[in-house]
Amino acid sequence: MCVLALLSKGDNYAYDIASRMAEAVGMGEGTIYPLMRRMQNDGLVSTYLQESGSGPPRKYYKLTKAGAGALKSQITDWLAFEVAVRKILGDVT
Amino acid sequence: MCVLALLSKGDNYAYDIASRMAEAVGMGEGTIYPLMRRMQNDGLVSTYLQESGSGPPRKYYKLTKAGAGALKSQITDWLAFEVAVRKILGDVT
DNA sequence: AATAGTATCTTGCATGACAAGGTATCGTGT
DNA sequence: ACACGATACCTTGTCATGCAAGATACTATT
């Protein structure tokens, strides 16, 4: 969901996504490539190559219509989950 | 974290915890027993048996001091995670 | 006696995160 | 020219864990 959300703000490549996710939630780099592959297989993202000038060519990922739909429904689910957890935590917090 | 939070409100047995978690976040019943075992091995909970009158005896779980500490730190982590995710979702939501 | 509800638990499978390692490209310093 | 660090891609193997399915057993109801 977070990766889809990042892509909804603009095309990006795995290495940069991984860096942002690492900083935000501590995601490891080894996680991103299988994840992107899965999302591409599921038709949530499409890719294109682009030269970088600062290293090897980057594989950019772009959110598809299906990806945007998935993001929307995942956000709905996430918010419901958040509420459910908050309810369980209740006055403990 | 949610199970620890439930236990912080009073001792309980796995079957009932599982029911609450199933309703709240869709957790399956097969999840609870390995989880409780793990938490007991980690010293987060202790157990005692009690007759029920409406079935086999229940194994009640009670939060230990270590469990209360783990809950506290897990809540801290969770809240930070929530914030990080919200930040990523940002105006997408 | 049979069934349904309560309550325990185990087994096997699938998912997925990640550390570690491998490859290749570019710019910078020596 | 060459080494090095940063960038950027990717794979492999391992470990954790959620869950469906099934096994067991006790109690109460039909």
pLDDT, tens digit, for every residue of A35-53?
A: 999 999 999 999 999 998 8
Architecture field, domain A2-92: Orthogonal Bundle (1.10)
CB distance B24–A92 less than 8 Å? no
Instruction: Select the residue of A5, A20, A25 nearest B89 (Cβ to Cβ).
Output: A5
Distance, in Å, from the CA atom of B32 to the CA atom of A20, rounded to the nearest integer, reads: 34
Strand D contact with B14 (CB < 7 A): no
Closest CA to A22 of A39, A40, A6: A6
How many other CB atoms are there within 10 angstroms of residue B37's CB atom? 12
Is A93's pLDDT higher than 70? no
Nucleotides of strand C lying closer than 7 angstroms to a protein CB: 5-12, 16-21, 24-27
pLDDT of residue B53: 84
Q: Which tokens sit at B16?
A: 């009932």
* Chain A nearest C-alpha distance from B48 (Å): 24
Report the candidate in B11, B1, B24, B5 with the shortest Cα–Cα distance to residue B80. B1
pLDDT 10s digits, B41-67: 999 999 999 998 888 999 999 999 999
Check residue B31 and give its pLDDT: 97
Distance from CA of A41 to the nearest CA of B (A): 23
Say yes or no for a CB contact (<8 Å) between A24 and B88.
yes
Mean of the pLDDT values across residues B17-31? 96
Q: How far, rounded to the nearest angstrom, does the alpha carbon of residue A35 sit from its chain's CA centroid? A: 9
Task: Looking at chain B, list the stretches that DSSP marks H as alpha helix, in order from N- to C-terminal side.
Answer: 2-8, 14-25, 29-41, 65-89
Instruction: Give the per-residue pLDDT at A56.
Output: 92
Question: Do residue A2 and residue B85 have CB atoms under 8 angstroms apart?
Answer: yes
As a whole number, the mean pLDDT across chain A is 95
> How far is the C-alpha of B26 from the C-alpha of A2, rounded, in Å?
22
Nearest by Cα to B60 from B10, B11, B2: B11
Residue that is written with structure tokens 């783990």 in the block: B70
What is the spatial distance, in angstroms and rounded to an integer, between the CA atom of B58 and the C1' atom of C5? 15
A25 vs B81: CB contact, 8 Å cut-off? yes
User: From the CB of residue A41, how many other CB atoms can be counted at a distance below 10 Å?
Assistant: 9
* Å separating the CA of residue B78 from the C1' of nucleotide C22: 35
Measured distance CA(B86)–CA(B91) in Å, rounded: 9
Say if residues A41 and A34 touch (Cβ distance below 8 Å).
no
